[in-house]
């Protein structure tokens, strides 16, 4: 395989002084070498910039901006990128050495695709050997077009595409728009939902990335209430689609997201908030009558059960 495909790697950085070196090093250790690395400092107040600038490589560009959130930083990186494919990596996550090489292989093998991703491992288990997206052993190589992203994502706990395991053809953003900066959470899921409504998706089961949950400032580590805005925006995309079979898949995916959001909020004790949103969102037809009953009964479980459920569905 030649190296004529060029990547722009975008790392949004905000107060990750303990982890950014690991993230940058994993990019520089890629076996596929044709890339630029844009580290977008989003107004960090710790030593993140000092750590990033201490790593010397001609392919690294550190760009600084006022704090605006991860979506703002990713969009800044997209605007300043020079190459035709944009790869994203969170500042506390890391890539396996052949991540970009695997993506380049997907681009050659599946020329109709415009969004690509690999399997991702959960670093909290101390090993990159657990593929949380496919439920198969990582040595069972499987590359393919994903004809129905929404059902695939629902069956993989929405981890088939993550902000550390995805590459998007740059021209896609000119068509569907960039990350929604008004969303405080879920902007990445809304972005993948929007892209897959119009473009083909290729996936490799190769474990190309590892995400880490120990970093401070990660949403998954913070107590939080039910957050509806990103679900409502996704629902708007669903309603605009005229393909009946695709809409059924979107329905299934949207219910999966709603269920995850309920369980996450319930695990932090937001029972009244979840009950209110289950009733409120019923008018948006996120779920059918039987699913509504299931969600309502869910809110009456003892809190210890929510943690067990969260391990299964998150």
Per-residue pLDDT at 285: 78
Query: How many other CB atoms sit within 10 Å of the CB of residue 17?
Result: 17
- The distance of Cα 195 from the centroid of its chain, to the nearest Å, equals 13
Question: Do 119 and 174 lie in a common domain?
Answer: yes
CA distance linking residue 66 with residue 16, whole number of Å: 16
Computed on alpha carbons and rounded to an integer, the radius of gyration of the chain in Å comes to 19
Q: Which residue has the tokens 């000119």?
A: 174
**Residue 286: which of 230, 224, 245 has the closest Cα?**
230
Domain range holding 282? 223-313
CA distance linking residue 169 with residue 48, whole number of Å: 29
Question: Do 162 and 214 lie in a common domain?
Answer: yes
**Residue 295: which of 260, 268, 248, 247 has the closest Cα?**
260
Position 1 in a domain: no
Number of independent structural domains in the chain: 2
Per-residue pLDDT at 131: 45
List of residues 6+ apart from 279 with CB closer than 8 A = none
Question: Do 133 and 247 lie in a common domain?
Answer: no
Alpha helices per DSSP H over the chain: 20-28, 48-53, 70-80, 99-109, 149-155, 170-176, 187-196, 229-240, 244-267, 271-280, 289-298, 303-313
**Per-run averaged pLDDT (10 residues), the chain, 314 residues:** 86 97 98 98 97 97 97 98 98 97 97 96 62 45 89 85 97 97 93 96 95 67 67 88 89 89 87 89 82 90 73 58
Question: Do 208 and 250 lie in a common domain?
Answer: no
Question: Do 214 and 231 lie in a common domain?
Answer: no
Question: Do 303 and 177 lie in a common domain?
Answer: no
Question: Do 150 and 288 lie in a common domain?
Answer: no
Per-residue pLDDT at 1: 57
Kindly list the distances between the CA atom of residue 51 and the CA atoms of 20, 57, 92, in Å, as whole numbers in the listed order: 7, 13, 13
Per-residue pLDDT at 63: 98
Per-residue pLDDT at 137: 44
Last residue within a domain, chosen from 165, 195, 220: 220
Per-residue pLDDT at 57: 96
């Amino acid at each position: 395989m030649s190296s004529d495909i060029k990547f722009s790697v975008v790392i949004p950085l905000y107060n990750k002084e303990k982890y950014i070196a690991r993230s940058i090093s994993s990019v520089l250790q890629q076996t596929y070498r044709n890339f630029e690395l844009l580290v977008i400092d989003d107004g960090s107040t710790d030593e993140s910039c000092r750590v990033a600038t201490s790593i010397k490589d001609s392919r690294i560009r550190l760009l600084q901006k006022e704090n605006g959130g991860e979506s703002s930083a990713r969009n800044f990186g997209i605007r300043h990128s020079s190459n035709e494919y944009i790869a994203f990596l969170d500042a506390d996550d890391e890539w396996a050495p052949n991540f970009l090489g695997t993506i380049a292989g997907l681009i050659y093998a599946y020329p109709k695709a415009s969004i690509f991703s690999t399997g991702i491992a959960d670093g909290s288990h101390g090993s990159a050997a657990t593929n949380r997206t496919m439920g198969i052993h990582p040595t069972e190589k499987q590359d393919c077009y994903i004809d129905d992203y929404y059902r695939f994502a629902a069956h993989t706990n929405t981890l088939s595409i993550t902000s550390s395991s995805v590459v998007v053809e740059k021209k896609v953003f000119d068509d569907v728009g960039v990350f929604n900066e008004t969303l405080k959470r879920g902007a990445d899921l809304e972005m993948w939902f929007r892209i897959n409504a119009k473009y083909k998706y290729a996936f490799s089961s190769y474990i190309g990335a590892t995400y880490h949950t120990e970093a401070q400032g990660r949403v998954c580590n913070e107590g939080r209430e039910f957050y509806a805005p990103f679900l409502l925006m996704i629902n708007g995309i669903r309603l605009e689609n005229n393909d009946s079979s695709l809409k059924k898949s979107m329905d299934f995916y949207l219910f999966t997201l709603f269920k995850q959001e309920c369980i996450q909020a319930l695990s932090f004790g937001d029972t009244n908030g979840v009950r209110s949103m289950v009733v409120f969102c019923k008018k948006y037809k996120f779920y059918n009558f039987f699913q509504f009953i299931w969600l309502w009964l869910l809110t009456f479980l003892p809190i210890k059960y929510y943690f067990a459920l969260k391990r299964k569905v998150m």
